[in-house]
Amino acid sequence: MLEYILLSLNITLMYSAPLIFAALGGVITQRAGVDNLGLEGMMTIGAFAATAVGFFTGNPWLGFLAGALAGAGLAVFHAVACIHLRANQIISGVAMNFIGLGLALFLARIFFDGATQTKPVPEKLPKILSLFGVDTTVSTLLNSLNIDITVFIALGLMGLMCFFLYRTKWGLRALACGEHPAAADSLGGNVFAVRYVCTILSGAFSGLGGASMTLAVVSNFSQSVISGQGYIALAAVIFGKWTPYGAAGACLLFGFAQAMVVIFGGYNFVPTQILAMFPYLLTLVVLVLFVGRSEAPKANGRPYRKGER
């Protein structure tokens, strides 16, 4: 029974880590006043870049870094469109989703002989016990405790973001830009610079989410590897009331839903098609129940013009 519980916890954390990365990206950009519906596309391009670099270099850590850079690169276009050109942020975010997927598939065909999926990476990111040289094959219990290193990175990043947003002057300026940018501007803050940085960071975090999926959960990139997880991460941001810890907690809930799909998938009493729907149904239920009770940052999604009130 204990091993079964630990296995469920292991799978929950494994599937939660990519969502936590992306949700933290959603938190930091929306708290600064820029809506980013393009998390899905940024996760996708990050997943491809991480797998490609991990495959050709044989180093999963370089792939992990490449995923962050790829997501940040796509976020630059979203930042320019929304902040400098004052484009509709929802439309721009949706466009990023199409661009991220299309670009990833296009590059996959170029680098992998016309295939729309990559070859498996020779080495995945390590699990925590394996990192310290523990042989987990000798015990099922040890294997259940062997948690992906990306889980600890994601939770550590959540802690750092909490400290940054609520304990530093730069974080408080970012919060001010999402609540009342004119006030932040009048106090000497550069609203445009803050929003640029936070939007690009959201892309980098989303890229890490995609990278953790292809370098820790699975070992290769395909068209369906990031299937709606960016949207689930956005739901976690709303459910978590735009706080890093709240969003991370919501991601753990959605990760648990995915774990139930994996665990009960071995039984025949529930059709696999119904099980596959469960995480997305839970997302819809959460949005219906909580979206009206969560209050977004007041200036989120509103382009800022210097001098306006």
Which residues partner with 127 through β-bridges? 148
Question: What's the DSSP call for residue 137?
Answer: G
- For 162, residues 6+ apart whose C-beta sits below 8 A from its C-beta are 243, 244, 245
- Rounded to whole angstroms, the Cα distance separating 7 from 102 reads 36
**Which position has the higher pLDDT, 291 or 88?**
88
Percent of the residues in the chain that have a pLDDT greater than 90, as a whole number: 67
pLDDT at 91 over 90: yes
| Residue 245, token pair as written in the block | 């810890």
What pLDDT is stored for residue 191 in this prediction?
Answer: 94
Burial of 32 (0-12, 13-18, 19+ CB in 10 A): buried
Is residue 299 included in any domain, yes or no?
A: no
pLDDT at 292 over 90: no
User: For residue 149, what are the CA distances in angstroms to 46, 53, 168, 214, 244?
Assistant: 18, 19, 27, 13, 19
Is residue 309 included in any domain, yes or no?
A: no
- The string over 60-73, giving b where at least 16 C-beta atoms fall within 10 Å of a residue's C-beta and e elsewhere, is beebbbbbbbbbbb
* Average pLDDT, rounded, for the chain: 90
At 20, the pLDDT band (50, 70, 90 cuts) reads: very high
Summarised one tens digit per residue, pLDDT across range 158-170 is: 999 999 999 999 9
User: For residue 40, what are the CA distances in angstroms to 51, 167, 218?
Assistant: 17, 30, 17
Q: Name the one residue in this structure whose structure tokens are 């099922």.
A: 140
pLDDT at 4 over 90: no
Q: Name the one residue in this structure whose structure tokens are 């490609």.
A: 52
Is residue 158 included in any domain, yes or no?
A: yes
Summarised one tens digit per residue, pLDDT across range 103-141 is: 999 999 999 988 888 899 999 999 988 777 777 776 777
What pLDDT is stored for residue 273 in this prediction?
Answer: 75
Residue 21, domain extent: 2-290
Percent of the residues in the chain that have a pLDDT greater than 70, as a whole number: 95
What's 46's domain CATH number? 1.10.3470
Task: Tell if the pTM clears 0.85, that is, is over it.
Answer: yes
Is residue 265 included in any domain, yes or no?
A: yes
Is residue 228 included in any domain, yes or no?
A: yes
Region 274-303 average pLDDT: 80
What torsion, rounded to 10 degrees, do the Cα atoms 292, 297, 298, 301 define? -100
Region 89-96 average pLDDT: 96
Cβ 228 vs Cβ 80: under 8 Å: no
Summarised one tens digit per residue, pLDDT across range 194-243 is: 999 999 999 999 999 999 999 999 999 999 899 889 999 999 999 899 99
- Rounded to whole angstroms, the Cα distance separating 27 from 29 reads 6
Domain count, the chain: 1
At 171, the pLDDT band (50, 70, 90 cuts) reads: very high
Highest mean pLDDT among 17-21, 131-135, 254-258: 17-21
pLDDT at 75 over 90: yes
Which residues partner with 148 through β-bridges? 127
Q: Name the one residue in this structure whose structure tokens are 């991370």.
A: 248
- For 163, residues 6+ apart whose C-beta sits below 8 A from its C-beta are 171
- Rounded to whole angstroms, the Cα distance separating 208 from 66 reads 9
Is residue 305 included in any domain, yes or no?
A: no
Is residue 146 included in any domain, yes or no?
A: yes
